[in-house]
Structure formats: structure tokens, C-alpha cells
Amino acid sequence: MRSPPLVLLLSLALAGGSALAQTELSSPAPLPAAASPGPSSALSLGQVLTQLRGSPGWRSAELRYRSAELALAAAQARAGFNLSVGAEANAVKLPAASGETQLSATLTAQASIAVLPWSPPLEAVRQAQRSLLRAAAERRAAQATLTLNTVQAYWAARNAQEARLLADAQATLAGRQLQVAQAQRQAGVLPLSGLLAREQALSDAQARQREAGGDADLAARQLVNLLGQPVFLPTDPAAYGALPTEPQLPTAVDAVIARALSGRAEVTGAQNDLLDAQAGLQAARLDAGLPELNASVQYGQLGAGQSPAGWTVGASLNAKTGVLAGQARVPVRTPGEQPTGVTLALTASVPLVGGDKRVSVRSAEVAVQGTELALATARQSVELEVRQRQADLLTALDTLASRRGALRQAQEAQGTARARLAAGLVTALDVEDANLQLRQAALGEENARVQAFLASLRLAQSSAELDLTLLTAAPATPSTQTAPTPEARP
């Protein structure tokens, strides 16, 4: 049987890692870049968010807002001054058997404009204006959600690459530890259970390695799905740029809730729905209480008996529709000398029995009550979401502080392992394991920092204060190191 000193020498030879003790104690060892073909360039968050503005989701939000703008322009055109011209031709033979055929042609013109405040065309303009405000709030909310999801996917892709490289290193270390265990087993100083434990550790490390590779691929595809176009993702985490800074503690929740209630799309939409319902109620009451009343005046060669009419001008006002209309008729050939006159007319119609106007009023009242409840529900939902987002941010900050504590402990453990290696108490593999534990703790701290940053963005989104231009205009400064960047495609 070999002596224990010989086994120790054999283990050290298999470990072959005396150079590991030369690394710096203050920071974990840098992760190596994956060697795969592709262009070499950094990818900043600002570049990704700039590409997001061409994504299908972003353009769809813009198109919905543009549609609301066109609807408002159409409503304003219908409520404004309208003018049309026309012509008509007539052939009259009276009596039909022996009369002389008379031909006539007349040019006509009609103009109209809504003048009374309750006119349906003017109410349609006000409704279109509210719809435009609703569309603007929904556009901002949709683009804020896309921005937040893209930022999350960007940092997820970066951390997935970091985790993949760490899993590769852990699998390599597990393989070397298995070689040492096999040598110790052959030397008779390691029981079979110890060898089986090392084999299982290698199997678990390889499973984590495959899982990390799959996670990196899915993270890349998620980012591509949001952007709607291929993007070259670096395999070196340093090429993604500096990690976000730690967010500040949130302000008083009541002030945040007040800003959210004035800017959230859900509240804005519910308020506009209430205004639409109130306008519908006012129109229903007006329709039920105001009679059909129309006043008209006509002046010109009106004609009498069998004399054809000459030129005429006229105007009319409908009290219920609120539309003022004007007409003019000019014959192409003068029918002869005719006296001019004026005609005044006033017509009114009041329903006495039947009709569904009262039911319409009641239905409009119910609609107002429903939209009032919807507005109250939207306000409560927004308030609850803001409070939840603020609590999530505080939790994320606590988690970040805990991960930093774990990082300091891992740094101390690495220093202790190196000191024990110098004293001959442990092997180089133990130091390498401490290095990997430090890298694992560093990755946990980076993930916690990203999650705290995302929690602050979610809080800003919940209060309608997420600045989309700031995220795009001030991207993180990328590192000068570059790495092969394979193209990620869905």
C-alpha cells in the first residue's frame, strides 16, 4: 500500500494548480470568454433600447395613437363648416298629351355647421379628444412595459452568460476532483462512498452546465423576441457594460400614489369612460326633453302656381341636432320676371305616447354608475400596485445587502484557503473551489443588484414616472474588452 505522503503528492500533481494561489484576493477571478465564431463588439443597454423603437410592439402602440389622432381629425371635420355644390336638370311637359316640354337646369349649393353646444357632431369631437388622451396614456404604458421587459431581458442575458461560464468552471473542477478521488481510491485511502460522491458531484455539475447553457439560449431568444429582429449578443459578460448602480430608497408612498393616480393609463381611461357616460346621459336627457323643433327661412324668386321658381337662398336651424344649414338655388336660364318673396317656417313635434326615451335615460344613468364604480376600482388597484412595488423594492434592497454580506464572507473564505495552502494544510483544488465559491457569491450579488434596479423601474412604471428617453440616452458605458458574439436568432 502507498504511503499517505505519496498519495498527497499524487493529489497535488493531479490538481496542478499552484498558480491559483497567485490570483488577487480582493476580487474573484475573471470569467473566460467563450471561443465561438462571430463579430466582436460590445452591446450597451442604450443600443438595445434604440433597436426596441423599431419593434412590432412599439410600432403597434404608435399606430394605435395615430389612429386616435385621425379619428379626432375626422370628427373635427364633420363638426366644422361643410360646403357642397350640385346641379339638377328637369324636363316638364304639362299636360302630357298636348303640352309643350320645358327644360330647366339649376345650380345648387348647401352649407352646414354645428353651432349649439349639445350638437352631436360637437359631442363627437369632445369624445374623440378624450379617446386621444386615453390612447396617449395607453401608448406610454405599453412602451414603458416594453422598455422594462427589454431591460430585464438584457440583464438576464448578461447574467445567463456569467452563469454559463461559472457552470463550465464548476464542471471542470468537479472532473478534476473526481480524478483525485479515483487516485485516492486506487491508493486505498478513500472509501467507495467517497468515490461515488465525487461521481455524483460531477454528474450534478454537468447537469447544471447543460441547464446554464439552455438558460443562456432562452435569455437570448427572449431579447430577440422583444426586439423583433436578430441581435448579436456577446458571450463575454464584460461586453454588456457596467452593471446598474444600487437604487435609492423610495420616497413617501402617499406622494408616489398621488402621482400614479394622475398619470396611470388605467385611471385615465376610467376617467374618460366616466366622461363619455356622463355625456351620453346628458344627450339622452336632451333627446327626451327637447321636442323636434326646426326653424327655416327662404328668400328669392319663390314662384307661385305653375310659375317655376327662380333664384332662392335659405337657411334652417334644427334645435335638437344643433346644426345650422344654408341652401342656394340659381337657375341656368332666367325663368322671366318674377317677384321676390320670403317664407318663414317653424315646425315642432312632441311625442305623447310610446317611445323608449325614458328607458334610454335610465340606461344611461346605469352606465354612469357602472363607470363610477370602475373608476373607483381602478384607483384602488393602482394604489395597491404602487404599495406592492415599493415593498418589492425594499425587499430587493435587503436581498442586495444580504448578498453583499455573503460576498464578503466568500472573499474571507478564499483568503483563508490560500493561507492554508501556503501552510500545506489544503490542496490547490481546495483553493480553486474557494475561488468558484467567490465567483458564485459575486454572481449572486450582481443578480441582486440587477433585481433591485428592476424593482426601482417597476415602481417608477407603477407611478407613471418611468423615463423612457433617459434609459435610451444614458446607456451603460461598455467595457473595452470584446468577445466573440454569436448571432442570437429566435
The pLDDT of residue 354? 65
**How would DSSP label each residue in 368-419?**
HHHHHHHHHHHHHHHHHHHHHHHHHHHHHHHHHHHHHHHHHHHHHHHHHHHH
Please provide the average confidence, as pLDDT, over all residues in the chain. Answer: 83
Q: Which long-range contacts (CB under 8 A, 24 or more apart) does 467-471 make?
A: 468/49, 468/140, 468/143, 468/144, 468/147, 471/45, 471/46, 471/49, 471/147, 471/151
| pLDDT tops 80 at residue 348 | yes
Q: What is the pLDDT of residues 361-382, one digit of tens each?
A: 999 999 999 999 999 999 999 9
Looking at residue 321, what is its pLDDT?
86
Q: 336: pLDDT confidence band, cut at 50, 70 and 90?
A: low
Q: pTM of this prediction?
A: 0.74
- Give the C-alpha separation, 123 to 278, whole Å: 11
Match 320670403 to its residue by C-alpha cell.
342
pLDDT band at 37 (very low <50, low <70, confident <90, very high): very low
CATH architecture of 37-59+132-288+379-488: Up-down Bundle (1.20)
Mean pLDDT of 349-363: 81
For the segment 386-438, what is each residue's pLDDT rounded down to a tens digit?
A: 999 999 999 999 999 999 999 999 999 999 999 999 988 988 988 999 999 99
Q: Cell triple for residue 203?
A: 454528474
Residue 20 has pLDDT above 50, yes or no: no
Enumerate helices (H) and strands (E) in the chain, giving the number of each: 10, 8
Per-residue pLDDT, 410: 95
Q: What are phi and psi of 188, to 5 degrees?
A: 80, 15
The answer to whether residue 24 scores a pLDDT higher than 60 is no
**pLDDT category of residue 105 using cuts at 50, 70 and 90:** confident
Residue 232 sits at φ, ψ, to 5 deg, of -85, 115
Q: Using CA atoms, how far apart are residues 476 and 237, in angstroms rounded to an integer? A: 13
CB atoms within 10 A of CB 50: 13
Contact (CB, 8 A) for 278 and 379: no
Inter-helix orientation angle 253-263/265-289, to 10°? 50
Instruction: Tell me the mean pLDDT in the region 263-278.
Output: 92
Query: Is pLDDT of 145 > 60?
Result: yes
User: What does the alpha-carbon distance between residue 165 and residue 480 come to, in Å, rounded to a whole number?
Assistant: 20
Q: Give the whole-angstrom CA distance, residue 68 versus residue 61.
A: 11
pLDDT score of 13 more than 70: no
- The residue extents of the domains of the chain are 37-59+132-288+379-488
Cα separations (Å) of 303 from 103, 311, 315? 16, 10, 18
pLDDT(473) > 70: no
Please, where are the H alpha helices in 118-191? 120-186
- Using DSSP, state whether 88 is helix, strand or coil: strand
Higher pLDDT residue, 305 or 421?
421
Q: What pLDDT sits at residue 468?
A: 75
Distance (Å) of CA 21 to CA 181, 213, 288, 439:
22, 29, 91, 15
String of b and e for 70-100 (b: at least 16 CB within 10 Å)? ebbeebeebbeeeeeeeeeeeeeeeeeeeee
pLDDT at residue 14 is higher than 60: no
CA angle 149, 151, 153 (to 5 degrees): 65
pLDDT above 70: percentage of residues in the chain: 85
